[in-house]
Amino acid sequence: MTSPIPPGTGSADAPAPYAVPRDVPLWSIFLTFLFIGAISFGGGVVAYLRSSLVLQKRWLDEEHFLSALGIAQALPGLNATNMSIIVGDRLRGVAGAIVAFAGMTLPGGTMVLVLGVLYAANAHNPYVNAALVGVGAAAVGMLSAVTLQIGRRQLGEIVNVTIIVVTVLMVSFLHISLVWVLLTVGPVAVFLFRPKKGDAPVERGPGGVS
């Protein structure tokens, strides 16, 4: 399993490797992620992260961003919080990871707790309930749209469609526990996409969902 392109080496005329900034202050990491955490509505966190970290702050180049995103997606946890931890860690180690995570979750966490306390106190208010029925229905529309946006690229391939259908059947209709779904479908799916002899050299960055 040797890499055809050892990381960190480039030919002499290639642009200088993007140096990870060493002197990013912790408060700056915290405020940046606090801002992303406060404005990212509706599951579009990845787009906000890219625009802020790669384009505005220039803390990461595109390649490192995609590699961090690949890790965040392949592992358990939410993309947004995994990304904040990975990027914070690359900038300032454990302390950076902690402040980035805190910034990302503080605005939404505080707001949802306030709403939750108000909701608990108004559980029998007909106006609150009517509004929440509308919000719930709207959430279904949003979830289907996001699922289709992410899954659209996979609908052309029979292997992908089969994995999607089997997963939905197991979870939604046979009510099999997620542990067993991950332990059975996961390895089979990875095996179906196993490396084949004569594959082109591995490209960097995720080939999966975005």
Partner 1 sequence: MNENLSVFAVFSLLSVLAVGGGAAVLPETKELVVGSYHWLSDDQFRDIYGLGQVVPGPNMLMVIVIGYHVTGFTGALLAFLGFFLPAGAISWAASRVWDHFEGSPWRRSLQQGLAPLVVGLMAAGTISIARTAIDGTLTILIAIGVFAGVYFMKKVNPAILVLGGGLVGLVLLSGTGAGMPPG
At 129, the amino acid letter reads: N
Q: Give, in order, the Cα–Cα distances in Å from 171 to each of 72, 140, 175.
A: 23, 17, 5
Quick check: 156 binds partner 1 (CB under 8 A)? no
Question: Considering the rule CB under 8 A, would residue 131 count as an interface residue with partner 1?
Answer: yes
Site for partner 1 in 172-201 (CB under 8 A): 172, 175, 177-179, 181-182, 185-186, 189-195, 199, 201
Please choose, out of 11-19, 22-30, 51-59, 73-81, the segment that lies near partner 1 by the rule CB under 8 A: 73-81
CB 29 within 8 A of CB 99: yes
Alpha carbons 142 and 138: distance in angstroms, whole number: 6
Task: Report how many residues bind partner 1 under the rule CB under 8 A.
Answer: 114
Q: How far is the CB of 17 from partner 1 (least distance, A)?
A: 14
Q: Which of 106, 44, 51 is nearest to 80 (CA)?
A: 44
Q: By CB under 8 A, what part of segment 79-108 binds partner 1?
A: 79-82, 85-86, 89-90, 94, 97, 101, 104-105, 107-108
- Residues 50, 72: Cα–Cα separation, whole Å: 14
Examine residue 51 and tell whether it contacts partner 1 (CB under 8 A).
no
C-alpha distances in angstroms, 25 versus 44, 81, 92, 117, 165? 26, 20, 8, 35, 47
Choice from 12, 14, 16, 120 touching partner 1 (CB under 8 A): 120
By CB under 8 A, is residue 12 in contact with partner 1?
Answer: no
Distance, CA of 171 to chain centre: 22
Q: Is 150 in the site for partner 1 (CB under 8 A)?
A: yes
Q: Does 171 bind partner 1 (CB under 8 A)?
A: yes
Rounded CA-CA distance 61/15 in Å is 12
Q: Which C-beta is closer to partner 1: that of 45 or that of 99?
A: 45
